[in-house]
Structure formats: structure tokens, C-alpha cells
Chain A
């Protein structure tokens, strides 16, 4: 009898363990439910999206081991988090092992490029920022995935979901190299409860002498409102005065993205062509002369400095998460940043402003500098420019990987509609919305109920998804560079911008230094090569 009891106890322990370790479940209809690692949330992928590779009892990549690099963040960190959460399910589905190799953002490109160039081949894939793509594609370090996308064996997702603006930065020369994951672009966020409050609108008019310019149309409107609210305790979350805006300018981090986003409307002239002064921002596409110190860029930096005065002094040393937290604690009227803000606001453990959020495409400028005629042009309507600023952190596959299909199967699983939606609706994942399945009708196919079920506030969802739709489908976009050396050009810009933001350099001086540094980078990397890549990147026809 004692023996039987012992066996029963052992059996129950074993089955209990087995149940606890279940990471996938197959439905009778062929659907696949995957279970996340930490919170044990269930996501069901319909049978027609699962692909034929996976199935009950199938382990198509058994014995294989792949290594994927990603930004440091851990199991609940931005971009890295989803890899951790879906690893057990993917391993159970494939029989393969996944090594997640985390590294800090500034280390990722140097480490992976060194690995590839020296032929060490430690990594099978990379979750990389879109601006790295030139470094990977042109030497043949990564492979296109169009064949895999069209292969019914793999989990199914559709590149047609991308707006053109985002599709471009996942492709190179007409071929798709990166799978759907994150969609980066910066929009303007504000405290809708405060700016629509009649009492505050009256107070603004009394103090300033004109009605509050809300909804904002231009950066000057943002500056005027930020100036009014800065230093006032307009939110009763604490006894301290609050700020008009919050940004982040820590050097060697991601502060330069603020400048790119804001300056676009002073620099990028709309039109049907691409030339020095139309749909262009970085270099003269005929000569590779840096344009970063042109009057449009300089004026934008002056405006950015003016706007930054109405934020906390500490933002000069903050990275993005510190800026976000300040906004989510209800300490700033405005911020302009990535989609993470809108989704993190929905997390009551981090945010005090759920249901109080407004969002729109970033405002414009009524002046834009013509870099051909060297004159300012005054416009009746603001020049509003959308952006894909940021990394749009995307999965790519090393051409030297012995297991490319296993890598793609992981990326494709994460790109399926149910998994992608799960990611975008949870702020901590760092996966931001930007494709048609993220937008509400008539812009897309997502449902308000879906967001509400995920814990979102309905008003916040409507502002947020419309803002991102308007941004990614804008008529005029800030051109995205991802040529060889983009990281170097941006680091030089970032350092000089930071010097300007703390007042050690004047805007003109900071951007002149940047232009000089860019000339040096171009010269060192080879003018002809850089020029050819830039022309391809912006679609310039010589």
C-alpha cells in the first residue's frame, strides 16, 4: 500500500510539473494556443495562420540551437521581453533551443558587425534597429526573407499590413530583409484633461492675451502652451510645480531623435521628386554635402532649445524611460515620443494618467527652408511631416546561420496577427503599432473592444491609433537613412546636439561641427560608396 501511495505521489508530481510546463496547446480545429513564459497568458493563433511546419508531435528543428541578439532589457524589457516570453512556446513547437543574447544599445552594432566581419558567426539573427540595415545588407551579411514569407510552412503574416513608410525600412532594393515586429515613429502626446479644461483655457487667455492655440497645429503652438503651464502646479499629484514638456537628451542614448522629429517640418519640403531641397533632409543627394547645418536645421534646433526650457532641467541627463516616467507621473503637459508612451500609460502600476491622454501627429511649421534657393518659404498651412524616427526593431537573419529556417519560424510566429496584437497592446514589450491590424476602422481592422479587453481606455485608444495612422500615412515623410555609417553620423549629431542643449555650443556652431564630422566620416568610408547608398536610400535619380 505504501508503495502504491509513493507511486501516486510521484505520478501526480510529474503530471503537475508537466502541466505547469505546458507552453503550447493544440485546438481540435488546428488552432495553436501559445502560453507566455512569465504571466502564463494565452494567445490563440487560428489554424490558417499557424502554417504547416508546426503540429502536434512535430518538432521540425529538433536539435538545432540558435542565438539571437537583442537590446538589453530582460524578460519584461522593451523589445527583449517578447523573445523571453515566447521562447518556451517556440522551443516546444520546434524542438530547437533559443539563446537570447542581450547587449546595450550602443554595443549592439559594433559587437555584431565585428562578429560578422571577423567570421566568428556566433549569432544566427539580430533584432536590429532599421538604421543598421545598410551595414548588414551591403556586405551580404543577412538574407532576404521573401521566399519564407510566401512559404505556407511558416506561421503566416502579411507584409501588405505595412504602410509604405514602414515597408521601405524593412526592405532593401525591393527585397524584404526584416519581419514585422516593432513600428517606430514619434507623435505628440498631451494631457487632454488639462488642455480641454475650460478653466485652464480661460486662465491661458487671461495671462497670454489670446486664446489657447489648441488643438496645436505648429511647434510654436506647443512652445506657447508649454511656456504657460511650466512652473505651475496644474496637476495635484504632488505639491511641486509641474512642467510644460518633457524630453530626454542623455548623450549617447536617443536624444537626437527628438531633434530629427521636430526639425523635419522646417526642412523637408513636400513634392513629387527627391532632390537637394525636396523630400530630403540629410545630405545633398548629388554631392553628399552634409545639409545638417542649413538654416532650416539651425532654426529647428533653436526652437528645440526654446521648448526644452519649459521642461525639467534634469532632462539633459535623462534617457527615454526617465522622460516617459515623468510624463506618466502627470508632471508634464506634452511629450513627443514613440508608441511606447501610449501603451505604457495604460499600465496603472506605472501611470497616473490613463484616460487623460491626447495624441496626434507631430505639429508642423509655417516656414520651411528651401535648400535650393536658399530662402525661407512661408506657408498658409503648416508643413506637417510624418516620421519613422527610431529603430522599428526588426528581426533579420545572418547569411552565415546554419539554421535560417528556425530563425525565421521564430520571427514569423511573433509577426502573426494575434501575437503582434498582444505585443502592441502591452507597453512593456516595446513593440509599437503601425500596421493596418493595429488601427481602428476605417483605418484598419483592429477593434476598440480588443484594446479595452487588454486594459486600455477607449478615449486614449482612439487618439493613439489615429495619431499613428496619420503619422505613418502622412503625405510627406522625414527620409530615413540607413546607409553604412548611419550610426556614426547620428552619434556625431547626438554629441553636438547635447552640447547645444546644455548651452556649451550655439545651435549653428553645434551643427557646423556635426557637418564637419559628417564630412570626415564620408571621406573615411569613401565618398562614392556613401553617395551611391544615400541616393538609393532616398530614391534620388541622378
Chain B
């Protein structure tokens, strides 16, 4: 608890290391709401979470459905599918620089396509989201595949007496049974994605400009680049509160659905 309480305290002070801390009440929090960089970081983070996690969920589910069937070399393919999950995100970011590099990168060299992956603000955000999707879709895949494999075959056999439509089987059997796992995956992924730091840090440094500066990066920069510990703590708490609200509301939905 100490770090949490200590940083909570810092958020109410103007802190210059080596000088006496000055109590300023809620001034750091008020400053955050007027700071254009905060609104930018909030927009970047929300875009990243909504687009990235949605695509991860869809792709992870599709792959899980695919791998839930009898496939040749399914075990090997499943292992390969999960490999990105075990890579270090900061290393992934640096590795993707060599893929996205606009003059000598892999995509430019192999496809000849000159796409401003990292120099254009919109494309840079797309790049960060793509890398995160590559990194985290396997997580969604593993969890949902496990859930799929736990559905008893008898459910489908009984249902096939009523309908042979694959869509109806999915809609009325698979999806309802998967729903708790999907919500769990969503909660876990969203709470992680809201704190994303490593990939934009290594891939784009938050740029160009501040086009890919996420909330965690802004907090880090405020702390480490600007030594503004009071304001940095206030930003960290704002993110904590936002993530807590979202996670709590999701758990609320789960409780509503299953009690």
C-alpha cells in the first residue's frame, strides 16, 4: 500500500527534488484537465484500446474456432500461434522499426510499398495498434480456445436435432457459453491496454509529435523527463481511476448476468 499512498500524497504537492514539497491541493488535477497533452494522450489511449482490443478479440475468436477443428499439425501450429505472446514488448517495438522503416524496412524492400508507417501521425498510430494486435491476439486465442474445448460435444449433438445451421449453433450454443470467457478476456486486455507503454515507447517514442503518446507515456515523460513528480502522480491516479471504473463496470455486468 505504501507506494500507492505515497504517490497519492505527491499528487497534492508541487515537488522539486532537493527542495521542500509545497502543498497545492487539487492544482495538479485541475492542471491536467486544462493540459492539451493530457487530452491528446487520452484520445490516443482510447483509440488504441477500442480498435486494438476489438480486433484482437475478433481475430482471437476466429483463430480459436479454426483451431478447435481437426487440422493437420494442429499442435505445432498452435504453438507457433502463441509465440508472440512470449516476446518482450519493448523488443518487439524495436524489431518492428526494421519492418516498418520507410526507406530500408522489410515491407518497403519486399513489397516496394512506400507507406509512411512511422512518419505520418495517423499511420504511426496504426503501426502501434498493429504491433499490439500481433503481440496480444495469441492471448485471446489461447483463452478462448480453452473455453471452446470445454464445451461438451453433447450440446452440439442435441442442437443438431433442431438445426444444422453452423451459424445458429454458434449463435445459440457457442457464444453464450463463451460469454464469460470473452468478458474476462476483454477486462484483462482492456486493463492492460489502457496502460500500454513499451510498444509505442520503442516503436515511435510517442511520435511523430505526440501522435502516439499514450497516457502511460505522458505520465512517464512527466516523471522522468520533466521531474514533475507531483503532476506525474496526479496523472497516474487519473489513469488508475479511469481503468478502475471500466473494470468495475465490466465485473458488474458479469455479476448481473450470472447471479
Contacts and interface: CB of A to CB of B under 8 A. Distances in A.
Contacts of A106: 224-225
Which of the four size classes fits the interface of chain B? 20 to 34
Nearest to A487: B225
Given A312-B103, A317-B119, A249 B208 contact: yes
B16 interface: yes
Interface in A233-256: 249-253
B115 to A, nearest CB: 10
Given A488-B225, A488-B227, A502 B208 contact: yes
Interface string A356-373: 000000000000000000
A326 to B, nearest CB: 7
B252 interface: no
Contact of A313 (B17, B119, B227, B228): B119
Contacts of A314: 101-103, 116, 118-119
B124 interface: yes
Given A251-B208, A313-B119, A498-B208, A117 B103 contact: no
11 contacts: A110-B227, A251-B206, A251-B208, A314-B102, A316-B118, A491-B221, A498-B208, A502-B120, A502-B121, A502-B211, A526-B16
- Interface hub of B37, B103, B204 (most chain A Cβ within 10 A): B103
Contacts of B54: none
A499 B209 contact: yes
A238 to B, nearest CB: 11
A113 B227 CA distance: 10
B226 interface: yes
A504 B225 contact: no
Contacts of A499: 209-210
Given A117-B18, A315-B119, A502-B211, A252 B226 contact: no
Contacts of A502: 119-121, 208-209, 211
Given A250-B205, A498-B207, A504-B121, A491 B116 contact: no
Contacts of B19: 526
A317 B103 contact: no
A251 B207 contact: yes
B221 A501 contact: no
Interface range, A side = 35 or more
Interface in A506-535: 513, 521, 524-526
The 10 closest A-B CB pairs, nearest first, are A251-B207, A499-B209, A314-B102, A317-B118, A316-B119, A317-B119, A498-B209, A252-B205, A502-B208, A316-B208
A488 B17 CA distance: 14
Interface in B1-54: 14, 16-19, 36-37
A504 B209 contact: yes
Given A312-B103, A525-B16, A251 B205 contact: yes
Contacts of B224: 106-107, 110
B206 A139 contact: no
B15 to A, nearest CB: 9
